[in-house]
Structure 1
């Protein structure tokens, strides 16, 4: 069984109450839940730190659990939620679906879940990558890049473009190498998720402010699946307005 968990915090420095922001007549968290329900998931549950979000999700027919407010990361919140659900023994894969991506495509979720279909070959952790198409993407520190080995396992994540191309000006890099961006959708074996919550902050994680580096430093294998579909995370009021504009254009 594949379980979809959606961490959703009420507090946000740039957009307070973000999960409840109205996007074209439906809240952001409702849109995420409805997209996730179209994927091959046995169950979709919101893990929130706020009773208002829990009540809202339950009112539109969703499932939500109330977690502690002091979790340092979404990963820790997911583990508490899984425990609250009774740690179902038949769950072989947990998909961490970002609560601020109302346009998440079911196919992206399925691409990760499919990697866990065979227990003998299932990775510890899986995540999504996407080809970098523009110099703006390549050099933005807000869009982490990833380097893979020949088996599709992540070797390193960085906010800086990797590899560095010696002897070429940065404007030529995209023409000579296929760069990949990391999208923040994860899937884990339940036993691995538990182990991740016990890891201390690592030096590389501190340097780049990327939690997945903690996992690599600890020796976990991160399998990457590629998608051509764009991610649309909402962090600011401006992002929310762009989302509303997209919804208007889709009508």
Structure 2
């Protein structure tokens, strides 16, 4: 059953020319393309959804499974600015206004509904205008070294994101580390108010953003706040052929995923 999301637009940026895995939105996983898996999962929660792409092959494939799709410029440096263009074009095309935009990664074929629900829940905090999701994770989980980590305050606002394992625990015994500190792995899904999205896209790239190659740091470095929803469900982004093989295996072994 869908949450009441009539004022929220979900945007799935999808480009063909991925640096690490060319054409991945059209890779077949089971009996569907990757982009169709993402779309159908997101559509279980969101009633307003559109794929934003700069490639006619992706556009045609989304039309083929009766999804909403819009063509965007090829010159976007990131998915966030593509989301803004998609929102402006799509809201005009369907003559509908929205209060929030959700940026859904197009390479998450196992997107869990809880990620979307936790993200939407962040906006129950009236001060929140930018949100994301994180997974509580054990300190010895190898994913902490492979994925983006974050630290947050007691009000669930992000303090920092890093490709390093954070926080660094000094003078600890490995077996006791989980009793001393909670670790969080970032789940790459974002929500913004329309005003926050426009402001973010108007800001120049920042020093920390360029250092870590994490665009959300631009918002923090400019004094913005990012609310964090906590999920118990991991994410499985596809960045490499090895990731793709693992996802295919998961879906082949468990058709209920």
Deviation at 1:193, TM superposition (A): 0.5
Deviation at 1:138, TM superposition (A): 6.0
Q: What runs of 5+ residues in structure 1 fail to find an aligned partner?
A: none
Is residue 78 from structure 1 mapped to residue 97 from structure 2 by the alignment? no
Map 1:32-43 onto structure 2 (within 5 A): 32-39=38-45, 41-43=46-48
Q: 167-176 or 124-133, which moves further after superposition?
A: 167-176
Q: Kindly provide the CA deviation profile for residues 197-231 of structure 1, in whole angstroms up to 9, marking residues without a partner as x.
A: 11111111111111111110111110000001010
TM-score by length of structure 2 reads 0.90
SS in 2 for 1:85: helix
Q: What runs of 5+ residues in structure 2 fail to find an aligned partner?
A: 1-6
Deviation at 1:116, TM superposition (A): 2.5
TM-score by length of structure 1 reads 0.93
Map 1:1-251 onto structure 2 (within 5 A): 1-39=7-45, 41-86=46-91, 90-117=97-124, 121-137=126-142, 139-140=144-145, 142-168=146-172, 173-251=177-255
Q: For 2:200 and 2:183, how far apart are their aligned partners in 1? A: 27
Deviation at 1:168, TM superposition (A): 2.2
8 Å contact from structure 2 (residues 91, 97) kept in 1: no
Q: Kindly provide the CA deviation profile for residues 64-111 of structure 1, in whole angstroms up to 9, marking residues without a partner as x.
A: 011111100000100111111135663111111100001101221021
Q: For 2:59 and 2:202, how far apart are their aligned partners in 1? A: 27
Q: Kindly provide the CA deviation profile for residues 170-207 of structure 1, in whole angstroms up to 9, marking residues without a partner as x.
A: 67533421111111010000111011111111111111
Deviation at 1:133, TM superposition (A): 2.1
Rate the CA distance shift 1:114–1:175 in 2: closer, same or farther, 3 A: closer
Q: CA RMSD in A?
A: 1.7
SS in 1 for 2:142: helix
8 Å contact from structure 1 (residues 154, 221) kept in 2: yes
Q: Which runs of 4+ in 1 moved over 4 A?
A: 169-172
Q: For 2:51 and 2:248, how far apart are their aligned partners in 1? A: 23
Q: For 1:54 and 1:13, how far apart are their aligned partners in 2? A: 20
Name the counterpart of 2:3: none
